[in-house]
Every structure is written in structure tokens, then in C-alpha cells.
């Protein structure tokens, strides 16, 4: 069934995690014995459903109603309504309480907002938790060969990488997997 969701995503130009990125994400989940995940950016539910196959309970933010509807359909097909919860809101504007601490936070949403997502939701991460960000290389584009808007996005991603490198509360490693990924582990004091 995940293959059907992946095929739908490709045919309809819905951005989902790459195969290599998903394998890497699932490997980190196994290594860290992750049980609770907060995902920022559900899209059609592909990665949330994949993470649930390892027994994770996933809370996932999505703001686009069409994506929410498709994700809910996919979650229902798998009978995962009790394991994957869609939070129908813009993660940056959300003011509700999540009432949970997560083992892992997976950020795969608006690239220009990664630092804001990271800063806002790190408080929901357990003491030795992990934050994974996808798409940090953004198609390996050269900022001197793109339009102004794309250049601004690439600069924001560069600034976010610098933020991660200089963040004393986390140790971050970068991986050239898929479209570039980071794994930030909270430093236990």
C-alpha cells in the first residue's frame, strides 16, 4: 500500500521523502527506540504511515486541507486512526498544547521556516531526543543560478544549517542522503 501512496505522490507532484531518506529515517527510529513522533508536514501521510509500521505513534501537522483529506483517507485504509493523528493547523500558528513529549521530531515542511519550527517545538522533545530535518540541500541548487525567490530560500537553508552547527543544546550531523538531512541530538546536561 505504501507503494500506491508513493505512486500517487509522484503522479500528482506531491513532495514526499525520498526512498533513501525514508530508509535513513526508519533506521534512526530503530536505533533510538522511538515510540512517539511529532511530524511537521504530513502531506498525504506517506512518512507518518511508514514510521507507524515500526510501532510509532505519530502526531503530524498539516495546514493544507486537500493534503489533510488525502492523508486521512490513506490513514483510514491502514486502520491507523488510533496511531496517526493529523493536527489540522499551521504548525507556526498553532497555540494549542500537544500534551506529550516526543522521542523524535521530524521536520519536512516549509523549508524557509525550519528554524522557527525547530525553535518552537524543541520544548516538546524528550531529554535525549532527536530532531531530523529533510531537504536541507534543496535539490543541490546553486544560488547563483536561480531566481531571486529560490535564492532567498537557499540562503535561509544555509542560515538554518549555521544555526544547527552553532546550537550548543544539540549536536547536529549532516547527511548527503536524499535531498540532504540533518540529525540533531539533544545534549544531555
Contacts of 186 (CB under 8 A, 6+ apart): 122, 125, 126, 127, 128, 129, 130, 169, 170
Q: CA 123, CA 117: separation in Å to the nearest integer?
A: 11
pLDDT at 144 over 80: no
Q: Report the predicted TM-score, pTM, of the whole model to 2 decimal places.
A: 0.94
pLDDT digits (tens, 9 = 90+) for 13-70: 999 999 999 999 999 999 999 999 999 999 999 999 999 999 999 999 999 999 999 9
With helix as H, strand as E and coil as C, how does the chain read? CHHHHHHHHHHCCCCCCCHHHHHHHHHHHHHCCCCEEEEECCCCCHHHHHHHCCCCEEEEEECCHHHHHHHHHHHHHCCCCCCEEEEECCCCCCCCCCCCCEEEEEECCCHHHHHHHHHHHHHHEEEEEEEEEECCCHHHCCHHHCCHHHHHHHHHHHHHHHHHHHCCCEEEEEECCCCCEEEEEECCC
Q: CA 32, CA 130: separation in Å to the nearest integer?
A: 8
pLDDT digits (tens, 9 = 90+) for 145-168: 778 888 888 889 999 999 999 999
CATH number, domain containing residue 64: 3.40.50.150
- Length of the chain counted residue by residue: 189
Q: Checking phi first, is residue 165 left (phi over 0); if not, alpha (psi -120 to 50) or beta?
A: alpha
pLDDT at 138: 72
pLDDT at 143: 72
Q: Could you identify the residue written with the cell 536524499?
A: 178
Q: CA 13, CA 21: separation in Å to the nearest integer?
A: 18
Q: Could you identify the residue written with the cell 505519530?
A: 58
pLDDT at 147: 82
pLDDT digits (tens, 9 = 90+) for 85-140: 999 999 999 999 898 999 999 999 988 899 999 999 999 999 999 999 998 887 66
The whole domain housing 82 covers: 2-186
| Count: domains in the chain | 1
Q: CA 88, CA 62: separation in Å to the nearest integer?
A: 5
pLDDT at 179 over 80: yes
Amino acid at each position: 500500500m505504501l507503494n500506491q501512496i508513493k505512486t500517487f505522490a509522484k503522479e500528482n507532484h506531491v513532495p514526499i521523502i525520498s526512498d533513501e531518506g525514508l530508509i535513513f529515517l526508519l533506521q534512526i527510529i530503530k536505533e533510538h527506540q522511538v515510540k512517539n513522533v511529532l511530524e511537521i508536514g504530513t502531506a498525504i501521510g506517506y512518512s507518518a504511515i511508514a514510521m507507524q509500521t515500526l510501532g510509532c505513534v505519530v502526531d503530524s501537522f498539516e495546514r493544507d486541507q486537500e493534503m489533510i483529506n488525502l492523508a486521512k483517507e490513506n490513514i483510514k485504509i491502514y486502520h491507523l486512526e488510533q496511531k496517526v493523528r493529523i493536527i489540522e493547523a499551521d504548525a507556526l500558528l498553532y497555540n494549542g498544547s500537544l500534551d506529550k513529549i516526543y522521542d523524535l521530531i521530524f521536520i519536512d515542511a516549509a523549508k524557509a521556516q525550519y528554524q522557527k519550527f525547530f525553535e518552537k517545538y524543541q520544548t516538546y522533545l524528550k531529554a535525549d531526543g532527536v530532531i531530523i530535518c529533510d531537504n536541507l540541500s534543496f535539490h543541490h541548487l546553486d544560488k547563483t543560478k536561480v531566481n531571486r525567490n529560490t535564492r532567498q530560500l537557499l540562503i535561509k537553508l544555509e542560515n538554518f544549517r549555521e544555526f544547527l552547527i552553532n546550537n550548543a543544546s544539540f549536536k547536529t550531523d549532516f547527511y548527503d542522503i536524499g535531498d540532504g538531512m540533518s540529525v540533531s541530538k539533544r545534549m544531555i546536561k
